[in-house]
Each structure stands twice: as C-alpha cells, then as structure tokens.
Amino acid sequence: MVGKLFHYTCQFAQDSVFLCYSGPTSHDVLVSTGNSLKHFLEENKVDPKRFYCIFSVYVELFENIIRYGVDCFGIDFRVNQSRNPYGIITVSVKNDQFTIKSGNIVTIEQSKKLRHSIERIKAMDPRMIRDYYRQKRKQESNEDSKGAGLGLIEIIRKTSQPIAFSFDYIDDYFLFFSLTAVI
Amino acid sequence: MKNLDIPKTKTTPEIHFNSSTNELTIKGESFPENTSEFYAPVFEWLEEYFVTIKDQSVTVNIELVYFNSSSSKVLMNLFDMLEENVQDGKQITVNWLYDEDNEMAVEYGEDFMEDLESLQINLVKI
C-alpha cells in the first residue's frame, strides 16, 4: 500500500494535480478543501476573472457528489440516503488551464437521467445555455427541487471547453460516473 | 421592528436589514450547507417588514462575489418577492454591486434584470 501511495503521488505529479480528495464527502470537506483551492489560486496569482469560475465549478461538482452519490463502501447501498457518499475530485493546472475531474458512484437509473441532461446541455450554444439556465432557475425556485440541473448548467457556463463524461461499469446496479471540466 | 443582522461565515454572506433606514444589505459569498434553511429568516423578516412600511423608498444592496446554483434560486425567489411588492405600490431599488474583474457577476446581474419586469435593478461597479 505504501508503495502504491508513492505511485499515486508520482502519477498526480505527472498529471500536474495539485489537489485531490478521495473519501466520504460532506459540506465540511467541501469547505476545507475549497479553502485549500482558494489559497492555491491566491498564491499563484490566478487572474481574478477566472478565480471564481474555478471555485464555482469545484463547488458545484462537489455538491453534486454530496447530493447524488452513493455510499458504496458501506455494507448496504443506500441511494440518496447516505450521509456521506463516496467521491473523488482532483484539480490540476497545465499551461494556465485548470482541469477539475470528479468521480462518484451512481445507480443505473440515475445514470440514464444524468446522461440525458448532460447531452441535452452539451448540444446548446452559449446563448441557449444562458436562457436555459434562467428558465430552469425560474422553474426550480418554485419547485424546491434539489437542482442538479442548474448545477450542471452552472458548470458548463464557466468552462472553456466542452465537458467530458463517462460511465464505467461496476456491477449490474452501479456505475462510476466521471466528469471533466476545463476552465 | 427589530433589525436583522446575520454575521458572515465561510459559506454564508453577512446580512443587515435596517428597518429605520430602509436599507437591506447582503454581502459576501453564498454556498450554505442548507440554502433554504439559511435564507428562511431573511424571507420571514421581509414579509413582516413589507406589511409595516408604506411609501418609504427601500434600497437593497447585493454584493455577492460568489454564490452557488442553489443560492441563485433563492435570489430569484427574493427578487420575485420584491417585484410583487413593487406591483403592490412599494418603492424598491436593487443595487447589484460588482467588481469589474468578476465578469460572471455582471452577467448574473444582467440575467436577473432581464427576468424581472417591474423591479428596478441597477448594476453598480464597485
């Protein structure tokens, strides 16, 4: 295991990953790792225009894990009831481009909805996305929904490249969902 | 009526609502753990406040450097509530304060402006 940790660390260094969290997620973890991210951005004098774009994508991705992730390290699988869903999130920087990757476990059922929403937003141009955001916000503010839809649009509004995503097979019930956002 | 004063935290803005100067201020960052729970007292205070005032002009200053998507929904609810009061004859002006380095803050301010018909929102550079 110790040898493997060295291997992981080397791998992260190679990929220019300066922040990685893997484990049970919660709002507390979001706040503390989010603060580390902010410090890094401040110390590296990141353009103020991009500072909150990067932070915002980090928050939305992390919140999505907290809201929709599944705790697969527990004895039983408790969808959406799990207090601390498992998630992994990394932030890297290369040639002044920040890449945030997030991964978490979802049910097959969730993956269908998720794929549909992401593909729908990915097909839109910036103006359509902006209008869709406003429409969705009006809708959801009346419904008091958990609002992953809005979070995803928020992420897309702040990225400089189309987001990439994938679902990896775990077993007949669960998939590993990963998303990559570049700012 | 008692003023509403909520100090800022790492994830929530400072909120000051002064019923004698008719100035309401929300300033800071907003990504609370439970957004509707955090903003509930704000809506309760406003509901009571709008019953007590008549033709005073009310100024709402919003200076949020960062807010997450669920806070964005709450802001929409807040502006909808203010707009209803404008339609009832109340005089309300919203100042959306932004740092010119923060492009998204301007864009979000413009989005709110477009979504509201009778509520006046001024975009104010800090």
Largest CA distance in chain B: 39
Q: Do A48 and B102 touch (CB under 8 A)?
A: yes
Kindly list the residues from chain A whose CB atom is less than 8 angstroms away from the CB atom of residue B77. 141
CB A30 within 8 A of CB A66: yes
Task: Choose the most confident range, by mean pLDDT, from A38-42, A70-74, A145-149.
Answer: A38-42
Cβ contacts of residue B52 below 8 Å, gap of 6+? B1, B19
CB B123 within 8 A of CB B110: yes
Distance (Å, whole) CA A101 – CA A176: 13
Mean of the pLDDT values across residues A152-165?
A: 92
Q: Which of A64-78, B13-27, B41-55 is least confident?
A: A64-78
Kindly list the residues from chain A whose CB atom is less than 8 angstroms away from the CB atom of residue B11. 27, 31
What is the predicted pLDDT for the residue at A31?
Answer: 97
Is pLDDT of A80 > 50?
no
Please tell me whether residue B63 adopts helix, strand or coil conformation. Answer: strand
Query: Residue B76 has which token pair?
Result: 């929409």
Domain span holding position A174: 2-182
**Phi then psi for A34, rounded to 5 degrees?**
-60, -40
Task: Choose the most confident range, by mean pLDDT, from A34-38, A112-116, B66-70.
Answer: A34-38
Give the residue extent of every domain in chain B: 4-125
Q: Helices marked H in A44-147 — which ranges? A: 48-68, 108-122, 126-143
Query: Residue B66 has which token pair?
Result: 């960062």
Nearest CB neighbour to B10, from listed A31, A134, A158: A31
What is the predicted pLDDT for the residue at A146?
Answer: 55
B65 to chain A: closest CA residue? A52
The question of ipTM being above 0.95 is answered as: no
Which site among B8, B66, B71, B73 would you substitute to test the A interface, given the most A Cβ atoms closer than 10 Å to its Cβ?
B73
What is the predicted pLDDT for the residue at A70?
Answer: 79
CB A153 within 8 A of CB A135: no
Q: List C-alpha distances in Å: A136 to A130, A149, A150, B44, B121.
A: 10, 8, 7, 25, 21
- Shortest alpha-carbon distance between residue B21 and chain A (Å): 30
Mean of the pLDDT values across residues B76-90?
A: 94
Distance (Å, whole) CA A130 – CA A158: 11
Query: Residue A162 has which token pair?
Result: 């189309």
Is pLDDT of A77 > 90?
no
Looking at residue A96, its amino acid is: D
Mean of the pLDDT values across residues A67-71?
A: 80
Please tell me whether residue B44 adopts helix, strand or coil conformation. Answer: helix
Q: List C-alpha distances in Å: A162 to A54, A106, A121, A123, B102.
A: 15, 22, 10, 10, 22
| Exposed e or buried b per residue across B3-14, where buried means at least 16 C-beta atoms within 10 angstroms of its C-beta | ebebeeeebbbe
What is the predicted pLDDT for the residue at A143?
Answer: 57
What is the predicted pLDDT for the residue at A76?
Answer: 52
Mean of the pLDDT values across residues B40-62?
A: 94
- By CB atoms closer than 10 A (0-12, 13-18, 19+), residue A15 is middle
Nearest CB neighbour to B68, from listed A53, A59, A141: A59
Packing angle, helices B69-87 and B35-52, rounded to 10: 10
CB B55 within 8 A of CB B92: no
What is the predicted pLDDT for the residue at A29?
Answer: 96
What is the predicted pLDDT for the residue at A1?
Answer: 60
To the nearest whole percent, how much of chain A has pLDDT over 70? Answer: 87
Domain B4-125 -> CATH class: alpha beta
Q: Binning pLDDT at 50, 70 and 90, where does residue A75 land?
A: very low
To the nearest whole percent, how much of chain B has pLDDT over 70? Answer: 100
Q: How many domains would you assign to chain A?
A: 1
Residue A23: give its domain's CATH number. Answer: 3.30.565.10
Q: Do B36 and A55 touch (CB under 8 A)?
A: no
Q: Do B66 and A133 touch (CB under 8 A)?
A: no
